[in-house]
Protein backbone atom coordinates (compact mmCIF):
# COMPACT_ATOMS: atom_id res chain seq x y z
CA UNK A 1 0.00 0.00 0.00
CA UNK A 2 1.42 3.35 -1.03
CA UNK A 3 1.93 6.17 1.45
CA UNK A 4 0.40 9.56 0.69
CA UNK A 5 2.84 12.40 0.10
CA UNK A 6 0.90 14.70 2.48
CA UNK A 7 0.99 12.11 5.24
CA UNK A 8 2.43 13.13 8.61
CA UNK A 9 3.16 11.27 11.82
CA UNK A 10 0.28 10.13 13.99
CA UNK A 11 0.29 10.44 17.76
CA UNK A 12 2.75 8.02 19.39
CA UNK A 13 4.03 6.83 16.01
CA UNK A 14 7.70 5.84 15.86
CA UNK A 15 9.66 5.90 12.60
CA UNK A 16 13.17 4.65 11.87
CA UNK A 17 15.28 6.41 9.26
CA UNK A 18 18.51 5.04 7.80
CA UNK A 19 20.75 8.08 7.35
CA UNK A 20 24.43 7.68 6.49
CA UNK A 21 25.68 4.73 8.59
CA UNK A 22 23.11 4.89 11.42
CA UNK A 23 19.48 4.12 12.10
CA UNK A 24 17.73 7.18 13.55
CA UNK A 25 14.63 6.66 15.66
CA UNK A 26 12.08 9.50 15.43
CA UNK A 27 9.62 9.59 18.31
CA UNK A 28 7.62 12.10 20.34
CA UNK A 29 9.40 10.91 23.46
CA UNK A 30 12.59 8.96 24.14
CA UNK A 31 12.52 9.32 27.89
CA UNK A 32 13.12 6.33 30.16
CA UNK A 33 10.47 3.60 29.91
CA UNK A 34 8.67 5.27 26.99
CA UNK A 35 8.02 3.35 23.76
CA UNK A 36 10.64 5.51 22.06
CA UNK A 37 13.21 4.53 24.68
CA UNK A 38 12.45 0.82 24.33
CA UNK A 39 12.79 1.14 20.53
CA UNK A 40 16.34 2.38 21.07
CA UNK A 41 17.19 -0.38 23.53
CA UNK A 42 15.74 -3.07 21.25
CA UNK A 43 17.90 -1.90 18.36
CA UNK A 44 21.01 -1.72 20.54
CA UNK A 45 20.47 -5.26 21.82
CA UNK A 46 20.11 -6.38 18.19
CA UNK A 47 23.46 -4.81 17.33
CA UNK A 48 21.98 -2.03 15.18
CA UNK A 49 23.94 1.23 15.13
CA UNK A 50 21.17 3.45 16.48
CA UNK A 51 20.82 7.16 17.22
CA UNK A 52 20.12 8.59 19.66
CA UNK A 53 21.74 6.19 22.11
CA UNK A 54 19.54 5.14 25.02
CA UNK A 55 22.14 6.39 27.51
CA UNK A 56 22.28 9.81 25.84
CA UNK A 57 18.53 10.43 26.01
CA UNK A 58 18.49 9.67 29.73
CA UNK A 59 21.29 12.19 30.21
CA UNK A 60 19.55 14.73 27.97
CA UNK A 61 16.32 14.76 29.98
CA UNK A 62 17.86 15.20 33.46
CA UNK A 63 18.70 18.90 33.65
CA UNK A 64 21.91 18.91 35.73
CA UNK A 65 23.40 15.96 33.82
CA UNK A 66 22.34 17.45 30.49
CA UNK A 67 24.01 20.77 31.24
CA UNK A 68 27.23 19.27 32.57
CA UNK A 69 27.55 16.95 29.58
CA UNK A 70 26.84 19.83 27.20
CA UNK A 71 29.33 22.06 28.99
CA UNK A 72 32.07 19.44 28.63
CA UNK A 73 31.31 19.43 24.90
CA UNK A 74 31.92 23.19 24.73
CA UNK A 75 28.25 24.21 24.58
CA UNK A 76 27.17 27.46 26.26
CA UNK A 77 24.93 26.46 29.18
CA UNK A 78 23.17 28.13 32.11
CA UNK A 79 24.73 28.09 35.55
CA UNK A 80 22.67 25.81 37.78
CA UNK A 81 22.26 24.69 41.36
CA UNK A 82 20.49 21.77 43.01
CA UNK A 83 18.69 22.53 46.27
CA UNK A 84 15.89 21.29 48.51
CA UNK A 85 14.83 24.71 49.84
CA UNK A 86 17.07 27.67 48.97
CA UNK A 87 16.67 29.66 45.77
CA UNK A 88 17.57 33.11 44.49
CA UNK A 89 14.83 34.84 42.48
CA UNK A 90 14.32 35.60 39.69
CA UNK A 91 15.09 32.13 38.41
CA UNK A 92 13.86 29.19 36.38
CA UNK A 93 12.97 26.06 38.38
CA UNK A 94 12.93 22.39 37.33
CA UNK A 95 11.65 19.43 39.30
CA UNK A 96 14.02 16.48 39.72
CA UNK A 97 11.66 13.88 41.14
CA UNK A 98 10.77 10.68 39.32
CA UNK A 99 7.44 12.10 38.13
CA UNK A 100 8.85 15.38 36.78
CA UNK A 101 8.24 15.79 33.06
CA UNK A 102 11.44 16.47 31.06
CA UNK A 103 11.62 20.07 29.94
CA UNK A 104 8.83 21.32 32.23
CA UNK A 105 9.81 24.45 34.11
CA UNK A 106 8.43 27.39 36.06
CA UNK A 107 9.74 30.93 36.33
CA UNK A 108 9.88 32.58 39.75
CA UNK A 109 10.20 36.34 39.63
CA UNK A 110 10.19 36.84 43.40
CA UNK A 111 10.88 34.91 46.60
CA UNK A 112 7.26 34.25 47.59
CA UNK A 113 6.43 32.93 44.13
CA UNK A 114 9.50 30.70 44.31
CA UNK A 115 8.31 29.18 47.58
CA UNK A 116 5.02 28.10 46.03
CA UNK A 117 6.73 26.62 42.97
CA UNK A 118 9.26 24.76 45.10
CA UNK A 119 6.50 23.36 47.29
CA UNK A 120 4.85 21.93 44.19
CA UNK A 121 7.91 20.52 42.37
CA UNK A 122 9.38 18.97 45.53
CA UNK A 123 6.10 17.45 46.76
CA UNK A 124 6.33 19.48 49.98
CA UNK A 125 10.07 19.07 50.39
CA UNK A 126 10.41 15.35 49.59
CA UNK A 127 12.62 15.85 46.54
CA UNK A 128 15.36 18.27 45.43
CA UNK A 129 14.99 20.68 42.53
CA UNK A 130 17.24 22.46 40.06
CA UNK A 131 17.25 26.20 39.57
CA UNK A 132 19.01 28.62 37.25
CA UNK A 133 19.43 32.25 38.23
CA UNK A 134 18.14 34.81 35.74
CA UNK A 135 20.10 38.00 35.21
CA UNK A 136 18.67 41.37 34.08
CA UNK A 137 17.96 41.34 30.35
CA UNK A 138 17.81 37.55 30.07
CA UNK A 139 14.68 35.93 28.62
CA UNK A 140 13.55 32.32 28.83
CA UNK A 141 12.50 30.95 25.45
CA UNK A 142 11.65 27.58 23.90
CA UNK A 143 11.92 26.17 20.39
CA UNK A 144 11.66 22.85 18.62
CA UNK A 145 14.69 21.15 17.06
CA UNK A 146 14.44 18.81 14.08
CA UNK A 147 17.73 16.99 13.49
CA UNK A 148 19.49 19.98 15.03
CA UNK A 149 17.70 22.58 12.92
CA UNK A 150 15.06 25.15 13.86
CA UNK A 151 12.40 26.79 11.73
CA UNK A 152 12.14 30.59 11.83
CA UNK A 153 14.59 31.04 14.70
CA UNK A 154 13.93 34.33 16.52
CA UNK A 155 17.42 34.56 18.04
CA UNK A 156 20.58 34.75 15.97
CA UNK A 157 22.45 32.43 18.32
CA UNK A 158 19.82 29.66 18.35
CA UNK A 159 20.72 27.82 15.10
CA UNK A 160 24.29 27.28 16.26
CA UNK A 161 23.17 26.22 19.75
CA UNK A 162 20.65 23.75 18.30
CA UNK A 163 23.27 22.27 15.99
CA UNK A 164 25.74 21.82 18.84
CA UNK A 165 23.12 20.22 21.08
CA UNK A 166 22.10 17.80 18.33
CA UNK A 167 25.71 16.85 17.66
CA UNK A 168 26.09 15.94 21.35
CA UNK A 169 22.79 14.13 22.06
CA UNK A 170 21.59 13.11 18.56
CA UNK A 171 17.88 13.40 19.37
CA UNK A 172 15.97 13.87 16.07
CA UNK A 173 13.02 15.71 17.61
CA UNK A 174 13.27 17.66 20.85
CA UNK A 175 12.26 20.91 22.48
CA UNK A 176 15.00 23.20 23.69
CA UNK A 177 14.63 25.73 26.48
CA UNK A 178 17.29 28.41 26.36
CA UNK A 179 18.16 31.76 27.87
CA UNK A 180 18.52 34.58 25.36
CA UNK A 181 20.48 37.77 26.01
CA UNK A 182 21.41 39.82 22.99
CA UNK A 183 22.99 37.45 20.47
CA UNK A 184 23.91 34.94 23.16
CA UNK A 185 21.81 31.79 23.71
CA UNK A 186 22.51 29.44 26.63
CA UNK A 187 21.09 25.94 26.97
CA UNK A 188 18.69 25.54 29.89
CA UNK A 189 17.08 22.13 29.25
CA UNK A 190 15.80 19.62 26.69
CA UNK A 191 12.44 17.89 26.49
CA UNK A 192 10.15 15.84 24.23
CA UNK A 193 7.81 17.27 21.57
CA UNK A 194 4.35 16.19 20.53
CA UNK A 195 3.85 16.08 16.76
CA UNK A 196 0.71 18.19 17.19
CA UNK A 197 2.80 20.98 18.73
CA UNK A 198 4.93 21.41 15.62
CA UNK A 199 4.28 24.45 13.45
CA UNK A 200 3.63 24.17 9.73
CA UNK A 201 7.25 25.07 8.95
CA UNK A 202 8.54 22.56 11.51
CA UNK A 203 6.40 19.80 10.03
CA UNK A 204 7.76 20.69 6.61
CA UNK A 205 11.31 20.48 7.94
CA UNK A 206 10.72 17.09 9.57
CA UNK A 207 8.78 15.92 6.53
CA UNK A 208 11.88 16.42 4.40
CA UNK A 209 13.53 13.61 6.37
CA UNK A 210 10.43 11.44 6.61
CA UNK A 211 9.77 11.52 2.86
CA UNK A 212 13.01 9.62 2.31
CA UNK A 213 11.43 6.79 4.27
CA UNK A 214 8.03 7.03 2.62
CA UNK A 215 9.50 7.34 -0.87
CA UNK A 216 11.22 3.99 -0.33
CA UNK A 217 7.84 2.47 0.62
CA UNK A 218 6.33 3.75 -2.63
CA UNK A 219 9.18 2.30 -4.73
CA UNK A 220 8.82 -1.09 -3.05
CA UNK A 221 5.06 -1.00 -3.62
CA UNK A 222 5.26 -0.03 -7.31
Give the tens place of pLDDT for each residue, 39-49: 999 999 999 99
Q: What's this model's pTM, rounded to 2 decimal places?
A: 0.90
Q: What is the pLDDT of residue 219?
A: 43
> Which domains are delineated in the chain?
15-76+137-221 (3.30.470), 81-133 (no CATH)
What residues contact residue 185 under an 8 Å CB cut-off, 6+ apart?
76, 155, 157, 158, 160, 161, 178, 179
- The neighbour count for residue 5, using CB atoms within 10 Å, is 10
Would you say residue 142 has pLDDT above 80?
yes
pLDDT tens digits for range 64-101 = 999 999 999 999 999 999 998 888 899 999 999 888 89
- What pLDDT, on the 0 to 100 scale, is given for residue 220? 44
What b/e string do you get for 85-98 counting C-beta neighbours within 10 Å, with b at 16 or more? Answer: eebebbbbbbbbee
Under the banding of pLDDT at 50, 70 and 90, the label for residue 214 is low
pLDDT of residue 59: 95
Weakest-pLDDT range from 1-5, 21-25, 141-145, 177-181: 1-5
The pLDDT tens digits of the residues spanning 85-95 come to 888 899 999 99
Identify which of 12-26, 65-79, 207-221 has the greatest average pLDDT: 65-79
Amino acid sequence: MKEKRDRFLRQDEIVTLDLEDSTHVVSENHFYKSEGYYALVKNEISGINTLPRSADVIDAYIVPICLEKAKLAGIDVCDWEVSDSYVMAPCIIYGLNYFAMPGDFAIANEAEQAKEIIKHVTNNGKYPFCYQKLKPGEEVRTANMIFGKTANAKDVGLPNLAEQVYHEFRIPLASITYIASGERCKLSSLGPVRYTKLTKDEKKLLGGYLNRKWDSFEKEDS
